[in-house]
Amino acid sequence: MRTLGIDPGTAILGWGVVEAAAGQLALVAVGTLTTPAGMAQPERLRLLYDGLRELIARYRPDSAAIEELFFGKNVNTALSVGQARGVALLALAQAGLPVAEYKPVAVKQAVAGYGGADKKQMQEMVRLTLGLAAPPRPDDAADALAVAICHAYTSPTLQRLITEG
């Protein structure tokens, strides 16, 4: 089963596809969708939506997982990321994909075993889990893979595929 993980953002949206089969997780594809900084917000959101629809059609995931919004001190950033999440959720829903949402601390707990893991620890655990030579870059792509791995570890159906092969 394939899972599309998403780390939402308006400037950079990270995405990663992992497959649970034969008792393990494997990387299918990973990358980012980027939008120009000077572009109007509605146009940026349309680019993200179109890009996600293309990714869904190309990689045909069975499920999706997206990181929940982390409220920081910058309200404008939180609003912008919330809009990107909304566009991503719409694209996933229109594709008929079941979607799971995870708080950042839950992703860290599932992937690194510690809810306070830092970026380097998370990237190393993603690398080890997927058997990669180097951590995925940029950070947004690695974060999206971590969300997909979290879903694989916490979804009962995917857990069976990983543990039973």
- Identify the CATH number of the domain in which residue 147 sits: 3.30.420.10
Token code pair at residue 136: 């995925």
Instruction: Quote the pLDDT of residue 157.
Output: 61
Would you say residue 70 has pLDDT above 90?
A: no
What DSSP letter does each residue of 91-127 carry, written as one string?
A: HHHHTT--EEEE-HHHHHHHHHS-TT--HHHHHHHHH
Catalytic residue among 124, 140, 143, 164: 140
Catalytic residue among 43, 54, 62, 67: 67
What is the 3 state secondary structure string of 75-87? HHHHHHHHHHHHH
Instruction: Give me the domain span that covers residue 59.
Output: 2-164
CA distance 153 to 67: 15
The tens digit of pLDDT for each residue in 50-63 reads 999 999 999 999 99
pTM: 0.92
Looking at the 3D structure of the chain, how many domains does it have? 1
Residue with tokens 């950042």: 104
Q: Please confirm, yes or no, whether 139 is among the known catalytic residues.
A: no
CB neighbours of 54 closer than 8 A, spacing ≥ 6? none
Strands 12-21 and 2-7 come out as antiparallel
Q: Please confirm, yes or no, whether 7 is among the known catalytic residues.
A: yes
